[in-house]
Each structure stands twice: as structure tokens, then as C-alpha cells.
A and B are shown apart, each in its own frame.
Chain A
Amino acid sequence: MRRSLTHSVLALALTCAACDNTITSTEVLPPLDAASLDSAAGSWRMIVLSGPTQVTVAAPAADTSVAYRAELAAIKSAQAHLTASQRRSIVYWSAGGVLRWNEIVRGLVARFNLPPAPRADGTYPVPDPENPFADPQFPFANPPYAARAYSYVAVAQFEALKTAWYWKYQYHRRSPAHVDTDIAALRPLSDLPAYPSEDAVISGVTVELLKVLFPAAVEEITQRAAEQRNAALWSGKASSSDIAAGLALGKAVAAVFVARAGADGMKNAVGTPALWQAFADSAVAHGEIPWKSQESPPRPPMLPNFGLLQTWLMTPTDVMAERPPAPPSTSSPQMQLEVAEVRRTVDHLSGTQLAIAYKWNDGAGTYTPPGHWNDIAAEYIRDARMSEVRAARTFALLNMAMHDAAVGCWGVKYLYFNPRPVQLDPNIKTMIGLPNFPAYPSGHSTFSAAAAVVLSYLFPAASSDFDAMKNEASISRLYGGIHYRSDIERGKEHGARIGGYAVRFAQQDGAN
């Protein structure tokens, strides 16, 4: 008896102690060996720029020039003394700059996705871009803010890379490792012309946008960008003039997008107390129960004017035309049924349903639903071995659709100012955090349907998977107790219509 008990304690102990506790924080990505060079990408349709020559890149020095020879010698000397950490950054960045930066931006969103804490007097401070390091930090990277941030980075990278491709095939300068056999190719080397360096283009355009979107992370962002350029040089992929030209091009394209971001309506998205009251008054005037913050102390609603932001692929008329119909009246029998369904669902949740609620929660402190869909897309981009410019196109289409979905959805949320289930039935308790903005329609459903439509077009073999994920993400909000079924259904329809704009753009942008 004694022996067997001791043995069972020991056995339990060993099963646990033998666990490997190591966690890899970043995505494990193979070195990018693109399936296609996409050599025609310089002619793909632009979205914001007028064309690939809006930013010009001067011709590089000849391969035989003294200056270029000196650049090659510098690479050789660097390669002779690579440290372990330099080799690690070569491996890290060889996965592709577009994928890596997408991952970094997801980390920034998660870091900054926290609402301000209340003051002692029960009011809330507003994050201030002029004072980003204070408490509250700037930004509060909530889902609409995040959707916009992902889209600015993706679209700017895409436009900059199309421009880079155009100039690459104007000048046809080869990579240092191709020009000089004494230079090792420390990452897969294609026949893509090296000038201007796409790594430098991506680093330049991304860092300038991120400085505006996440100013408090400037130090980290700048270091990562420099590391990316150095890795391109150390790996024999780009010379210092390839990099300088790419960096200048990236920054020039970034300036266009920084100017757009300054005037796209984000500055006024928070609104004013008078505006918040006007939403409530309007709902009452229509005979409806207005949304009320369930937080304590009550928090102003999230970004009420986000619905007025500039969209990427829709006109303001399109935005209005695609809006879903009004939700069931708060006093209707239909609404009573829907409230009852939420309560019944939450009180009889299965383990599987609860797991789905947490899988798609993507609430405060996370990379948000748009970040979740970027996470999903990244795996398909990796598996398809997309070139940098095609990877950028994929993220641009996905994130333009989700930004436009955020604008569309937020406009409707504040048009109807519809209360959450817990407001109509205080006996309902939620399994996940309750978002502090009106219910109708569901943001998760709108984002997810827009994303699924775009990804299904780009990766048709997986369309049924995207459809299943969209449905799961959407219904997770009913399981969590924070949305009615009609929020979800109308949200999905709305999101799918908005995603259609990105699909129609992709069908004729010259990339197929």
C-alpha cells in the first residue's frame, strides 16, 4: 500500500516535471523563397498614389563603379565578422518583411489596446497623441483604431512595394551575392533586382507610419526597422546604395499616407459629450431605449464618429447604401425573444461554446478581431510563398476591407444606439468583457464576414474554412452574452457586402 501510493505521487510528479516549458513567442516562419517574382507588380493598379512614378528613384551607380565596389567590400567585411545575434536577425527577417511587420503591428495593437483607467472623480481621460507616454497611454488601440492602423501599414507597404518593383525593373541591378561570388547568400536569393532594396522600402514606409500610429513605441519601431535593413545587407541581398534608395522611397511614400491619416477624420472620432447625448436623444425620439454604458463609472462610448472616417474602397454614398436595415425595436416582441435567447444561451453554455467565446474574444489587451484575421491570413501567405509585394497586396486587401467594415459598422452602431443584452435584462451575465458601445450590428461579425470574403477570393481552396471561421467568430458573441442574434446576422451580411468592394478591386488590379 505504502509503496504503491508513493509510486503514484512520484509518477504524477514526473509527468509534470518532464514538461518542456519553452514557449516561442513569434511565428516560426521559413525563409521566404517566393513562388513568383511578380515582376509585373510595377504596373499593378495603385490605390492612393497616382502611379509608380509619383516617387522617382534615381539610377544606381554601375556595378563596376568604385563606389559600388567599396559597398561590396563592406558587405564582405561584415560577413566575415557576423555575431550570433546578427545571424539571428538575418534568419528572423528572411521570413519576409511584410509578414514580420504584420506580426510586430499585432504586438503593438495588443500592447496599446487598453482603455483609460477612470480618474478619482469618475471621469475618464482621453489618450493624447501629443503626450503619448502619459497615463493613459496613446493610443487606445481598440478595434476601429486597430483596423485603421493595420490598413494604413498594409496599404502604404503595398503602394511602396509596387513603386519599388517598377524601379527595380527599370534598373535591373543584381544582388551583391549575385554580382560578387565572394559574398555569401545567407538567405534564399532570387533574381529579383536589388535596387531599390525592398527590405529598406518596407522598413522606411512602415516605421514612418508606426511613429504616427504608435508614437510611444518609437524606440522599438526604429530599432526593428534598422535591424531589418542591416539584415538585408549582412545576408548579401542588398548593398548600402540599394538600401539607401529603398529607405528614401519608403519614406516618401509614407509621407503621402501620413498626410492622409492626419485628415481622415480620426482626430474627431472621440466626439463630445453633446454628441453622445444627441445619440441618446435621437433613440428616445424614435421611441427606442438608448444604449447606456454598463461600466462603473459610466464610460463615454467608443469612437462615436469613427463611422465618418475616410474609407479605402467605398465612397460615402457606398457606405450609406450598404447599411443594414434597422434592428428590431427595443419594445418589439422580436427583441424580447432575442433577449431571452441570449439569457438562455449564456445560462446553458457547453464547454465547446465557452471555448469558442474565448477563442474569438479578442477583447481589451489583445490584437483585436482585425488582428486575429491578420494572424489567420499570415499563415496562408506563408504557405503560398508569396513575394513581398504579393504578401503586401493580400494584407492590403484584407485590411482595407476590415477598415471599411469598421467605418460601416460604427456608423450603424451610432445611428441606432441600440442597448446591449445586459441593459435590457440585468439578469444576463456575460462570459467575456462587455464592449462599451452600442450592440447593433456586431463588429466581430462585420469584420469577420468582410475578411472571409476577401480571403476566400485570394485563397479559394480554403473558402469553406474561412466561412466556418467567420460563423464561429460571429456566434461567439452570442455565446459570450454580449450580442443578439440579429446583431450577428445583419453584421455578417453587412461585412460581406463591404468585403465585396475589395474583391472587385482585386479582380481588376492587374495582379491576377
Chain B
Amino acid sequence: MRISRVLLLLIAPATLRAQTVDDGMLFPRRALSAGIVYVHEDWSQYWEGTLKRENGNIGTVTTQRVSWIAGYGVTDRLTVMVTLPYVATRASQGPLHGMSGVQDFMLAAKYQILATSLTDRGTLRALIVGAAGIPATNYTPDFQPLSIGLASRQVSGRFTLNFQARDGWFLNGSAGYTWRANVKLDRPAYYTNGQLYLTDEVAMPDVVDYSIGAGFQHGRLCIPVTLSQHRTLGGGDIRRQDAPFVSNRMDFVKAGAMVMYRGVHLGASRIVSGRNVGQTTEVTGGLFYTLHF
């Protein structure tokens, strides 16, 4: 009771909108922001390799994700962030059981390497981001598409450029590379990418992603719009009438928009093209509070 009252009192003016690793935002020094983000994703069509189809044995696959997110401004140039999602999946048709559990713990550090005024129009900033993720529980990645994740440890490096105009408009560009560790299955053999593998270990191809974004910020309101591309550098296609596999070549292009006001975030996105992924529509909502020390 007392704690919650303190928290309420400490809710800051919502000038803070850094919540993802690929935006160009940093927290002020000694600001701690934490929040809960809820994501609802579903798809009824998916790409089996490059063939777009539906499947009566799963119907619509829904994934719900509740993430606890926290960020802290170590200095004005360095922000560290952690996220821990709880994920639950289900299929609307067919006999398959959904899955749920705590997924991957992610730790990221964003560092501003450059901030320079461009005439008097605005500020150009460059950031580098290092992130690492590790499965927080031993959930199985071998029940795609209903597994809660891919269960691969990963590290990523990212470079982000952000231009913030004085009149409130901003532009954002980001490129990241993710190295993924091998995944272990509970079975001694699997077939993927045209080959039988007589081992329980699966090599996970690396992933690159790019995003461009633009938006407007005025006072406590911020509206970013983003187009991102995600490419897996290897892996096999889902075979005809086969289930997806953890190391599939999962590619997609996603368009999304968000509205942030004070500590409230609402957003939506949709995959516009893909390979070995569902055509996901995502709706997200988040509540953040910020403490200044």
C-alpha cells in the first residue's frame, strides 16, 4: 500500500519513451523506468517456405506475451535495460496443446557515441547497443509453432542513428546482427534443410534486422511509425505439410505504429511478407512508471 503510493507519487512526466533496443532513445541519468507490456499476436495464415497457406489443424495461433521491462540511465549516455516475458500460446483448432511459461531474459546496454547539433534544425545522435538473451526456463523449442520461443542463447550488436528535429519530428534507422548459440532438443535426431542430423544439437543461423522509423514527439505525446525487416542467414524451409522447425529460415517484413502518452503505450503491427513465419497481427499495450533518483 505504502509502496504503491510512493510509486504513484513518483510517476514522472512522461518524457521517457525508450523501451526497445532499436529506438534511438536514452534515459536521463539516474532515471529508472519500469513497466509491463502486454502483446497479443495472432495469425491464421503462414508461409510454408514461400507458400502462403492456412492449416485446419491449428486454425488461428494466438500468442500472448506479458513482459516486465526495466531501464535505467546509468549516465546520460548509457542506458541499461532488462526484459523478462511470460508467453502463452494456443491454437484455435485441432488437438494440439498450447504452451506457456517464462521465456528469455534479455539484458541490453545502449550507449550514445555521438550527439551533434545539425545547424539549428535538430540533433543527430548515434548509438551502439549490445544485448544478450538467455532462456530463463528450460521450455522446449521443439513444438513449433506452439513453443513459447526458440530457446537459443543469443548476443546482438546494433547501430542506431537518430535525428530529432527541434519541431518534434524524428527519424530513426537501426541495423542489428544477432549471433545465436546452438539449441538442444530432447530427441537424438532431426531432419532439416534436406538432411538427417544424428544429434540432439541444432545449429541456429544468425539473424540480421534493419528498421527505419519516423515519428513525432510533442510534450508527453510520441507517435513513431516503423518498418522493419528480419532475415535469418541460413536454415531450411518448412517442408510441404511439415511442422515448422526451430532453425528454419524465418524472414519477415513488419510495419507498425505506436502511440505513447505519459506512461501509456499502445501499438499495432502486421507482418506484410514473410517466409516460414505466420502472418502475425500484433496489438500491444504498455504501462510504465519512472522514478528519478
Contacts and interface: CB of A to CB of B under 8 A. Distances in A.
Interface residues of A, number: 63
12 contacts: A9-B109, A9-B130, A21-B182, A110-B189, A358-B143, A364-B241, A364-B242, A366-B190, A367-B196, A375-B188, A375-B198, A429-B95
Closest 8 CB pairs of A and B: A296-B56, A12-B132, A429-B97, A107-B196, A110-B191, A358-B186, A117-B241, A355-B186
B189 A367 contact: yes
Contacts of A62: none
Contacts of B134: 12, 16
A430 B108 CA distance: 37
Contacts of A106: 189, 196, 198
Given A107-B191, A111-B196, A375-B188, A422 B107 contact: no
Given A12-B134, A429-B97, 9 more contacts: A12-B107, A16-B155, A24-B199, A114-B242, A294-B94, A297-B56, A359-B188, A372-B189, A429-B96
B240 A136 contact: yes
Nearest to B97: A429
B282 interface: no
Given A12-B132, A110-B196, A422 B186 contact: no
A136 B97 CA distance: 28
Interface string B163-194: 00000000000000001011001111111001
Nearest to B131: A9
B117 interface: no
Nearest to A124: B241
Interface stretch (B73-81, B214-222, B264-272): B73-81
B140 A12 contact: no
Interface in A95-152: 103, 106-107, 110-111, 114-118, 135-137
B241 A114 contact: yes
A461 interface: no
Nearest to B156: A13
B56 A25 contact: no
A135 B98 contact: no
B196 A25 contact: yes
Given A117-B240, A359-B187, A431 B107 contact: no
Given A12-B107, A107-B195, A359-B187, A430 B154 contact: no
A239 interface: no
A23 B195 contact: no
Contacts of A360: 187
B107 A17 contact: no
